[in-house]
Amino acid sequence: MSQEDKIRNYIEKNLTVYDEEVTFTNDDNIFEKGFVNSLFAMKLLNFVEQEFQIDISDDDIDLKNFSSINNIINLINNKK
Amino acid sequence: MDRNFMDEVIEEARQFTEKEIRPFAGDFEQNEQVPRELINKMAKRKYLAAPFPEEYGGLGLDPLYYGYLTEEIGKGCASTRALMTVHTSLVGETLLKWGTKEQKERYLRPMASGEKIAAFALSEPEVGTDAGSVKTSYIKEGNKYILNGKKKWITFGNLADIFIIIASEGKNISAFIAERDFGGITTKPIKGMMAGRAAYIAEIEINNLEIPEENLLGKIGGGFTFICNTALDYGRYSVAWAATAVAGAAVEEMVTYARHRTQFDQKIYKFQTIREIIANATTKYLTSKALCINAGNLRIQGSDEKVFQTTLAKYYSSKIAMEVTTDAIQVFGGNGCTSEYPVERLFREAKIFEIIEGTSQIQQEIISRYALSNFYRKKAKAQ
């Protein structure tokens, strides 16, 4: 499974809107669109650290880094 | 970390609690303070830095054993355990996770030695559960941040030397490390508390508090999403064990009393209705402990499920602590209603767990969302 698919699946599993038809692009801000809440940011951070074997440092804890699939992929690639 | 060493720490903590804490918990409450000598003794045993690595003066306990330690201390006295929740978990572990190297160097060792006591300042007179709406403000002036506002219900606030303070500037919520010595911080003890009477709970007046820019914790705007959520996760884990501890202490008290108390010429434990209470209380206590152990193991593994499972443990343990302490009072009868016996204090302490580190209603929100996402069965599409 690609990085993108893993991240997408994880976000979809944790959506806090329960409409089956909800869709979002790789650039959609999942927080601003209300698809997830701020608590999810920590869960997402833990997921990214564990799934992609990277350490997120205090310099990276900017919500922007976790706000869309593409931003998360960029963060992972920058840490590798 | 060596398991034998960690087992020894827990056994030593059990003995320490039985000798130095549990017999005096009622006195601490009456005097409205955990004595400084006790804090120093705990610091000497490195309990105040139990999960910190050795390089910062800690014991290096893993999350599970830190939980066991919290339970031992928590069985003795909730206010004493509260020091570990705020000083060690909310502030210490958050600094360990998100502090810069310089911040860790400056604060963790004095916290480990007990030279400096730390508190976490989030709640305000008008802001409780809606923590993202803090009114305490900050503005940047040159290389300093200037903070103004009020904080309330700050555990160990009246004793603390160091504070993590959450403040806002418009939509940005940020976290700062403040020292009492910076000036601009006035604390006032809150009297008449139902519980936590010895835990130096305070109101804090913040008046033109000047914080050097290097004391920003995390990033500007990351105060709620990352710092608060991290701190509250550590705090919830600690409170889950704390509530389990109070339930465990209540079971110990009810069993001991039932084996000594005679009515109708027989010990009351022989009555089936009393045994039913004991059985149910024991089931709840051990189920609660199992949830805490599960959360501890997930934390060791670094699982992304750890935050949710910690929430679940906190919700359940605080709920059953209330139930089990209520049942303990029932076993004690009239004696349970006086401060002569510890169950009266345990009952009051239990209530607090349903409120702090996120009310039970907020935990229910989180748990129900988890269920709505994870236990939903998608309808199979028609062929």
Q: Which residue of A has its CA nearest to B370?
A: A14
Domain finish residue from B185, B200, B221: B221
Mutation pick from A10, A46, A64 vs chain B, by most beta carbons of B within 10 Å, is: A46
Residues in Cβ contact with B69 at an 8 Å cutoff, skipping those fewer than 6 apart: B9, B10, B13, B47, B50, B61, B84
The answer on B155 and B101 residing in a single domain is: no
What are B260-298's pLDDT values in tens digits?
999 999 999 999 999 999 999 999 999 999 999 999 999
Active site positions of B, annotated: 357
The low-confidence residues of chain B, meaning pLDDT below 70, are 381, 383
What spatial distance separates the first Cα and last Cα of chain B, rounded to whole Å?
Answer: 56
Answer left, alpha or beta for residue B184, where phi above 0 means left and psi between -120 and 50 means alpha: left
Q: What is the pTM of this model?
A: 0.95
* Residues from A in contact with B at Cβ < 8 Å: 13-16, 18, 20, 38-39, 41-47, 49-51, 58-59, 61-63
Residue B94: the pLDDT is: 97
Question: Do the beta carbons of residue B223 and residue B147 sit within 8 Å?
Answer: no
Contact A50 B307 (CB under 8 A): no
Residue B383 maps to a domain: no
User: CA separation (Å) from B86 to B157, B203, B325, B344?
Assistant: 10, 15, 24, 24
Please answer whether residues B308 and B366 qualify as being in contact, where contact means their C-beta atoms are separated by less than 8 angstroms: yes
How far apart, in Å, do the first and last CA atoms of chain A sit? 18
Structure-block tokens of residue B149 = 């506002």
Q: Could you tell me which of B238, B197, B156, B233 has the C-alpha nearest to residue B349?
A: B197
B203 plus B244 within the same structural domain: no
Query: By residue range, what is the domain housing residue B22?
Result: 3-116
Q: Which CATH number belongs to the domain containing residue B204 in this structure?
A: 2.40.110.10
Q: How far apart are CA B118 and CA B38, in angstroms?
A: 16
Flag if A63 and B225 touch (Cβ within 8 Å): yes
Q: What is the pLDDT of residue B383?
A: 64
Q: List CB contacts (< 8 A) between B374 and chain A.
A: 13
Q: Are residues B205 and B233 in the same domain?
A: no
Q: Which of A61, A63, A75 to mutate to test the interface with B (most CBs of B within 10 A)?
A: A61
CB B186: neighbour CB atoms within 10 A? 13
pLDDT of residue A16: 86
Please state the ipTM of this predicted complex: 0.88
Residue B129 belongs to a domain: yes
Which residue ranges in chain A fall short of pLDDT 50? none
Report the CATH superfamily, name and number, of domain A3-79: ACP-like (1.10.1200.10)
Rounded Cα–Cα distance for residues B136 and B163 (Å): 14
Q: Which has the closest alpha carbon to B70: B293, B366, B273?
A: B293
Collect all residues of chain B within an 8 Å Cβ-Cβ radius of residue A63.
Answer: 221-222, 225-226
Nearest to B369 among A16, A45, A63 (CB): A16
Q: Indicate whether B108 and B194 sit together in one domain.
A: no
Q: What is the CATH number of the domain that holds B283?
A: 1.20.140.10
Per-residue pLDDT at B131: 78
Contact B373, A12 (CB under 8 A): no
Same-domain check for residues B194 and B313: no
A45 to chain B, closest Cα gap in Å: 8
CB contact under 8 A, A39 and B100: no
